[in-house]
Structure 1
Amino acid sequence: MNLQSLVKYNQDLKILLVALGYFLFARIGYFFVFEELYFLPTWPPSGLALAFIVILGRRVWPGITIGALLANILAYWNTSDIAPNSIILLSALIAAVHTLEALLGNFLLKKWIGKSQHFAKTTHVFRFLFIALIISVVSALIGTSILYLQGMFGVSEYLQRFISWWVGNLVGILLFTPFILSFREELTWKISKANIIELTFLIIAVSTITFILNNENLRTPLEQAIPFLVLPFLLWLAFRFHLGVAMAGTILVALLAVYLTTHDIGPFVLEDSSNAMLLLQIFIGVISVSTIVLYATEKERTNTQKALEQLNGSLEEKVKIRTEELEMENANRKSTEKALQASNIELRKINSELDNFVYRVSHDLRAPIASMLGLLNLAKKDTNEEMKNLYLTKVEESAKLQDNFITEILDQSRNARLEVKKEIIKFDKIINDTFEQLKYANPDDLVKKNLSIKADKPFISDEWRLKVIMNNLISNAIRYRNGREPIIDINVKIENEQAFITIQDNGRGIGAEHIKKVYDMFYRATDENAGSGLGLYIVKETIAKLKGDIQIESQVGKGTLVTLKLPSLQ
């Protein structure tokens, strides 16, 4: 069997199911007929037909026609004053009216409510009631007119027949359409303590009513009050249970009321059967509408509450996320503020150093020039050769002083400007080259050097910056001697990716009051053999570039110990 045949087969089964259901519901309706009038207080197939065509689709309409045709033929077949062919024609026309009623109802439901849950909102319920009213009026008007034209009754009975058909169909739609459509929703049942308590009260109430009905003195007023007594029961079903359960209770109450009334029992029994049936129909219609509206109200309230809970949870989550974001933003802001404060401090320091630097540089650059110009003027005026040679020697010393000063400025500029270069360091070569350079700069100095280097692996750093450091520290050890031959002990030890360097001399030393200031730009601890005051400042800044550390220990008259700790730049 191919797909097309399978679809057609399933469609035929649906049509057959609808026809069978319509016929059975019609027989149930005829079971509750008012025999004196042969009127039906409710027409259940109308509700079933509308529900089935909504659920299964409008293509099942032949099932409604077939079921209605069979039900009406069976109902009219025993009518002696109607010919068989007229019965078939009449039944076919009425079946077409019932089919039209269901198709029109399906069309209006889709147009005004849509395919969503039809009873989830009170607005949907009232639209459904309006649709039921329209289609039942259309069906009653056409059907009653057909019966009238077929001579089934006279003009005087037209209105009564119309109202009976209209209200009967309307009540059938109100009772059975919501009941059947309700099972499209998920049916859940949870037994709770509250349900048990409520069920207990219901049993007590039913037992009390049964006891009173068996009492002859109280039976009559209780029978008249039954319509009011069932209302709390229906309210309880509508508020606490699924719509299918609530409508099942309503249908049970309606069928019981019809059965009792047809057997002359209950508050709806009147002398005029037509009035009794109309009163009964009004009662059934009212309890049906009340049950549906109350259920929809409770459903809408529950859905709104769930939506509010979800919205509240969503808002709480959004507030939590936003709070975390604000905390992060606050932390970032504080971090930025700290960085800005540090930058401001560094900027003020740089500005201060720059001002001081400009002033001292201009002063220290001009001083040797002024000295050389003065010595040259003296040399021009003095005819003594020995004095001229002395003047020239002094000029040379001033030129060397200025050259050293310019070299230090260039070293500082390069240290601040150039990136750190990583290369393998040979400490023995750097230190020996430094002593050799200083030897030619000061050929009369006799310096004793003691060098010890211990390395377990190669050391990576910036060779040029290490030369600047060694040149300044060693030149200071030579320059500030203590009236005796300079002795300089240098120890280099490399372990755990770090270099530990000590440089110890036997010079004049530094006073304790100057130790903390010797790293300041242009600071001079003594005026004797005074340099520019940039040496240790350059050393400190260069070591900082290499992420190292420097410590100075000194005693006046005994010498100075400089300790360096430098990391290997891997």
Structure 2
Amino acid sequence: MTDARHERLRRGGLAALQICVLAALYTASARAGLLQQLVRGQVTPLWPPSGIALAGLLLCGPRVWPGVALGAFLANVGLGPSLPGVLAITAGNTLAPVCSYLLLRRTGFRVELDRLRDALALIFLGAFTGMLISATTGSGTLLLAGALNTNGFWPTWSVWWTGDAMGVLVVTPVLLVLRSARWPRHVPPSRWLEALLLMAATACIGLVETGRTPLLFLGFPLLIWASFRFRLAGAAPCALAVSTFAIVSAIRGSGPFAGHDLLTKMITLQAFNASAALTALLLSAVISERNRTEREIARACRQLAGMAARISTGDRQPMLPAQESEEQEQTRQGPTPRP
């Protein structure tokens, strides 16, 4: 009884700690996201808290949703038009990642993101569908509170929705990669050199993207390089960096964003960011699936070669791989005693 009570206390303490950490990360990332605000001081083209909230739910489970709600309230309490408005926006910001989590779980989503179906689910269910809730709730609240006029509703809604969706597309994969990150062993020096070159090239592309020349497309060769050579571990951080550079360029009004109104800037920016995120996620997932298929084919070839070797040595009834595995298991367990 005492052990069970201690176990419940331990689990409750762990859940409380996870909720507090998630709320703190949500609030801190919201402060960083508001540095790029474009509408009314609280609507940004990239909202990292949405990605952090979904990643927290995927990694810790739905029990940490109070951390999302607390973080959303603390992030909006000084920005909302009124206390009821803040509570409505908080509810929308909480329901959006929770609904995305539930949709992903219904599809059998795996946090490794090593299947094409997982990448597609994160894009279309986690980002595009789930974030409709927060954008509609938030924009509608601002409209009803008089902070927006009817002409500004749809531009604000578009910025809100794409900002939340981009948070899921570029932040959530990075956090899922960090969860399973391990220090690589037995890596040749050439591999380390290639990783350093990729980071240096990303920094150089960032300088070019934030300049006056419209050269945003130079980020796509980096994404392809990172996806092919490092899969999601390289593609996700690279997509985040490329998108951040594009946002900085849009805020400054430089490059392809010079001389355009807000709506045109947002269409250009989010089309680029979505293309970058889709390229990184889909290509890395396809490469992971290809590598896994190659390993399965190689294993099947080794099994067939073993069967052929038994036939050539006189064993006319070679065992199938499943039978061979069963016999090996019985050998490890020892002979079955007779009654």
**Aligned counterpart, 1:4:** 8
**Residue 90 (1) aligns with residue 79 (2):** no
**Structure 2 CA distance for partners of 1:264 and 1:157, relative to 1, 3 Å:** closer
Match of 1:230? 219
CA contact (8 A) 1:234 1:249 kept: yes
Matches within 5 A, 1:423-502: none
Contact 2:58 2:111 in 1 (8 A): no
Question: Which residue type is aligned with residue 108 of structure 1?
Answer: L
Partner in structure 2 of residue 153 of structure 1:
148
| Partner residue, 2:329 | none
| 1:24 and 2:39 correspond | no
Partner residue in 2 for 1:141: 136
Indicate the SS of the match to 1:89.
helix
Cα distance in 2 for partners of 1:44, 1:112 equals 24
- Aligned residue among 14, 36, 44 for 2:48: 44
What 5-or-longer segments of structure 2 have no aligned partner? 319-339
Displacement of 1:187 in angstroms is 3.8
- Given that residues 26 and 71 in structure 1 are in contact (C-alpha distance below 8 angstroms), is that contact kept between their aligned partners in structure 2? yes
* Distance (Å, rounded) in 2 between the aligned partners of 1:298 and 1:238: 7
Judging changes above 3 Å, is the alpha-carbon distance between structure 1 residues 316 and 188 closer, same or farther for their aligned structure 2 residues?
Answer: farther
In the TM superposition, residue 174 of structure 1 has moved relative to its aligned partner by 0.4
Q: 1:276 aligns with which of 256, 265, 288?
A: 265
Q: Could you give the per-residue CA deviations for residues 518-546 of structure 1, whole angstroms, max 9, x where no partner exists? A: xxxxxxxxxxxxxxxxxxxxxxxxxxxxx
- The Cα offsets for residues 542-564 of structure 1, whole Å up to 9 and x where unpaired, read as xxxxxxxxxxxxxxxxxxxxxxx
Q: How does 1:91-106 map to 2 (within 5 A)?
A: 91-106=86-101
Q: Given the superposition, is the C-alpha separation of residues 17 and 117 from structure 1 closer, same or farther in structure 2, using an over 3 Å criterion?
A: closer
Which whole-Å CA distance do the structure 1 matches of 2:208 and 2:56 have between them?
42
- Map 1:133-532 to 2 at 5 A: 133-187=128-182, 189=184, 191-192=187-188, 194-195=190-191, 198=194, 223-225=213-215, 227-326=216-315
Determine the C-alpha separation between the residues in 1 that align with 2:16 and 2:10.
10
- C-alpha deviation, 1:290, in angstroms: 0.5
Matched-pair contact (CA < 8 Å) for 1:37–1:273: no
Question: Aligned to 1:40, what secondary structure does the other structure show?
Answer: coil
8 Å contact kept, 2:115–2:288 = yes
Matched residues in 2 for 1:10 and 1:200: separation? 37
- Cα 1:266–1:299 shift into 2, 3 Å: same
- In structure 2, relative to structure 1, the CA distance for the partners of 1:38 and 1:279 (3 Å cut) is farther
- The structure number with the bigger radius of gyration is 1
Deviations 1:82-139 (A, max 9, x none): 4xxx2x221111111111111111111111134x345212122112211021111232
Per-residue Cα deviation, 1:458-494 (whole angstroms, up to 9, x for no partner): xxxxxxxxxxxxxxxxxxxxxxxxxxxxxxxxxxxxx
User: Relative to structure 1, is the Cα distance of residues 192 and 317 closer, same or farther in structure 2, using a 3 angstrom cutoff?
Assistant: same
1:109 alignment partner in structure 2? 104
Over 3 Å counting, the alpha-carbon distance change for 1:307 and 1:117 in structure 2 is farther
Q: If the length of structure 1 is used for normalisation, what is the TM-score?
A: 0.50
The residue matched to 1:2 in structure 2 has which SS? helix
Tell me, yes or no, if structure 1 residue 120 matches structure 2 residue 114: yes
The separation in 1 between residues aligned to 2:91 and 2:159, in whole angstroms, is 19
Tell me, in whole angstroms, the C-alpha distance in 1 between the residues paired with 2:249 and 2:68. Answer: 30
What is the CA–CA distance in structure 1 between the aligned matches of 2:64 and 2:166, rounded to whole Å? Answer: 23
Distance 1:164 1:110 in 2: 27
The answer to which structure has the higher strand fraction is 1
The residue type equivalent to 2:241 in the other structure is: L
Q: Does 1:14 align with 2:18?
A: yes
1-side partners of 2:202 and 2:144: how far apart? 50
Q: Contact 1:44/1:173 (CA < 8 Å) preserved in 2?
A: yes
Structure 2 Cα separation of the partners of residues 142 and 165 of structure 1: 10
Say which structure is richer in helix: 2
Query: Partners of 2:250 and 2:281 in 1: how far apart?
Result: 24
Q: Contact 1:23/1:67 (CA < 8 Å) preserved in 2?
A: yes
Any conservation in 2 of the 1:32–1:41 contact (CA below 8 Å)? yes
**Which letter does structure 1 place at the counterpart of 2:233?**
G
The one-character-per-residue Cα deviations of 1:497-533 (angstroms, maximum 9, x if unpaired) are xxxxxxxxxxxxxxxxxxxxxxxxxxxxxxxxxxxxx
CA distance in 2, matches of 1:308, 1:149: 60
Q: Does the CA contact (< 8 Å) of 1:234 and 1:291 recur in 2? A: yes
The 3 A distance-change label for structure 1 pair 110 and 204 is: closer
Name the SS for the 2:257 alignment partner.
coil
Q: Evaluate the alpha carbon distance shift between residue 262 and residue 7 of structure 1 in structure 2; reply closer, same or farther with a 3 A threshold.
A: same
For residues 65 and 208 of structure 1, what CA distance do their matches in structure 2 show? 38
Cα–Cα, structure 1 residues 37 and 73, in superposed 2: closer, same or farther, change >3 Å?
Answer: closer
Q: Secondary structure at the match of 2:260?
A: coil
Aligned length: 311
C-alpha spacing 1:17/1:203, structure 2 compared with 1 (3 Å): closer
For 1:29-85, what per-residue CA distance to the aligned partner results, in whole angstroms no more than 9, with x for missing partners? 101113788641111111110110110010100000000000001234xxxxx4xxx
Letter in 1 for 2:54: L
Given that 1:42 and 1:281 are in contact with CA atoms closer than 8 Å, whether structure 2 keeps it comes out as: no
- Return the structure number with greater relative CO, CA threshold 8 A, min gap 6: 2
* C-alpha distance in structure 2 between counterparts of 1:241 and 1:105, whole Å: 27
Q: Tell me, in whole angstroms, the C-alpha distance in 2 between the residues paired with 1:206 and 1:42.
A: 19
| One-letter amino acid of the counterpart of residue 276, structure 1 | K
**Structure 1 unpaired stretches of 5+:** 77-81, 214-218, 330-570
**The residue matched to 2:78 in structure 1 has which SS?**
helix
Name the SS for the 2:259 alignment partner. Answer: coil
